[in-house]
Amino acid sequence: MKSLYFILFLTVLFACSSDNNNDNNCNYLLNINVNYSIDLSLPQYSTLNSPGNSIYIPNVGNRGIILANTGANILARDASDPNHAPSECSAIIPDGLFGTCGCGDENRYNFITGEADNNDALTCALKFYPTNRSGNILYISN
């Protein structure tokens, strides 16, 4: 009878054990409060009026944010590379709907999906921030 309880105990113990495979150590980015708005009619944001373009906005989020026009809407992603610790070079440099980390690893990301572009070893995706557009004003918040 004791062995039955022991086996039952082990079964419950292993069934309840933590499996952090979904986390994959994606803990480099802080959960920073973002509440930012831009006027899309201003000249510095005019490139966002065309699908396939993106811009970098500093001093928002972890290392700035990237805004990308997908054609259907404008998406916002944190500009910090989530696959290594933040550093002076870890901000993503936008190029259309893709961006590359400024560090030597040159991790490349797709702004639509947030995932790494053609590199399965990079398990963390870019942090997403919801956007809401009202006329020419784009609100970015979390």
For the stretch 9-60, pLDDT in tens is: 555 545 554 444 444 458 899 999 999 999 999 999 999 999 999 999 999 9
Domain locations in the chain? 39-141
CA proximity to 83, closest of 128, 16, 141, 26: 26
Task: Give residues with Cβ within 8 angstroms of 120, minimum separation 6.
Answer: none
* Architecture of the CATH domain 39-141: 3-layer Sandwich (2.102)
* pTM exceeds 0.85: no
Give the span between the Cα atoms of 77 and 40, in whole angstroms: 17
